[in-house]
Amino acid sequence: MPYHLPPADTLYPVTLLDGTPHKGTVNLKNAIDHPRFEVGDHTYASDFDPPQDWANRLAPFLFPFCKEMLRIGKFGQIAHGTRFIGASANHATRGASTFPFAVFNKETILGYQPDTRDITVGHDVWFGYGAIVLAGARIGNGVIVGAGAVVRGTVPDYAIVTGNPAQIHRMRFSEGEIELMNALAWWDWPTDAISDAHEIIEKGSPADLQAFARAHGL
């Protein structure tokens, strides 16, 4: 039976056996409306207690007036409990105290943000249960973030990171295979091609995916 990836504009991409949509999983792009939160097609988030405001649930300190951005690429997979703790949550640390005096004055609250670093996440990144991503994190394509990991800094493409602070457990592919995967960029293929290739994307090697791409002129 042919496989068809749900359209990118679908809000609830998982349909239960009785035909009803599973409201605990959303295509995140269609579930948020936030000027500081950008997300690519087919990136989904799941939660056992689905919120009304998915942006606030995932990034509770990211307000519309914040100076940083949260950017997540295509085909991301975000498990329950994942949180993005961005720059707006941070206090100044260079003075005698970290107390945020400006927050308690209506004349200065909007101008107070000592940290403005963005969080940037590549394509096809899997965040395990309860992962935490901190301000300034730059997470590459194909990364797996283990359950409960606390991520800061730069994570290279196709790394598996675990622990607090998150450290590279191992790389998923060789250096040459990673270059090939980034060159193939399957997440940018037409939806029909991705649907046709889904078993190779799930189970095949980078070489298998390259062979499919060549055979289909991708």
Continuous H helices in 94-184: 175-184
Residue 214 CB partners (closer than 8 Å, separation 6+) = none
Between CA 126 and CA 111 the distance in angstroms is: 34
Residue 200 sits at φ, ψ, to 5 deg, of -70, -40
Residue 192 CB partners (closer than 8 Å, separation 6+) = none
CB of 87 closer than 8 Å to CB of 67: yes
Catalytic residue among 4, 22, 91, 169: 91
Taking alpha carbons only, the member of 166, 205, 161, 168 closest to residue 184 is: 205
169 an active-site residue? no
The residue behind tokens 């602070």 is 165
Active site residues: 91
